């Protein structure tokens, strides 16, 4: 994993006001090995753990999250998977991304489309992670979009 890409992204996002604009870092930009869809779950969690470690080393007041974009549907479907490994079937075609949020101002604290996801996060990174599912209607595309965020 290219840790310097994560560090550069963290520093540039904070310095340039990217936190407020939800500037993200796609996994395939961190390391080409994460370009393969079957590596998105483990790669996303590993990248999140590394970003959290870099944040902690710098004592930064931010929540780090990895967002997984899930398949959209014409009807509200929720998220019935109960384990993170099963989420692989639900992923759409966009690689997961890292995000930085100001602590206490994370989108799930103000957006009613978010719910806590109580699925099993079975990846063993030695960190406590919170999980949030979001499903909302996109009027432009006329479908329900879905995403899952892991945060710490």
Per-residue pLDDT of the chain (152 residues; tens, 9 = 90+): 999 999 999 999 999 999 999 999 999 999 999 999 999 999 999 999 999 999 999 999 999 999 999 999 999 999 989 988 889 999 999 999 999 999 999 999 999 999 999 988 766 667 788 999 999 999 999 999 999 999 99
CA dist., res. 17 & res. 29, Å (int): 20
Query: Could you tell me the CA-to-CA distances from 56 to 16, 49, 59, 62, 73 in Å, in that order?
Result: 20, 10, 5, 9, 38
Residue spans of the domains in the chain: they are 3-151
**Rounded Cα–Cα distance for residues 152 and 150 (Å):** 7
Q: Tell me, rounded to whole angstroms, the distance of Cα 149 from its chain centroid.
A: 4
pTM for the whole thing?
A: 0.94
pLDDT of residue 122: 63
């Amino acid at each position: 994993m290219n840790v310097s890409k994560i560090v550069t992204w963290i520093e540039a996002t904070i310095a340039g006001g990217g936190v407020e604009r939800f500037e993200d870092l796609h996994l395939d930009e961190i390391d080409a090995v994460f370009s393969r869809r079957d590596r998105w779950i483990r790669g996303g969690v590993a990248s999140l753990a590394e970003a959290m470690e870099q944040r902690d080393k710098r004592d930064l007041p931010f929540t780090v999250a990895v967002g997984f974009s899930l398949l959209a549907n014409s009807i509200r479907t929720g998220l019935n998977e109960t384990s993170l490994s099963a989420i692989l079937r639900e992923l759409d075609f966009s690689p997961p991304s890292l995000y930085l949020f100001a602590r206490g101002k994370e989108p799930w604290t103000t957006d009613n489309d978010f719910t806590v996801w109580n699925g099993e996060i079975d990846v063993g990174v030695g960190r406590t992670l919170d999980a949030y599912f979001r499903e909302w209607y996109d009027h432009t595309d006329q479908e329900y979009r879905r995403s899952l965020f892991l945060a710490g």
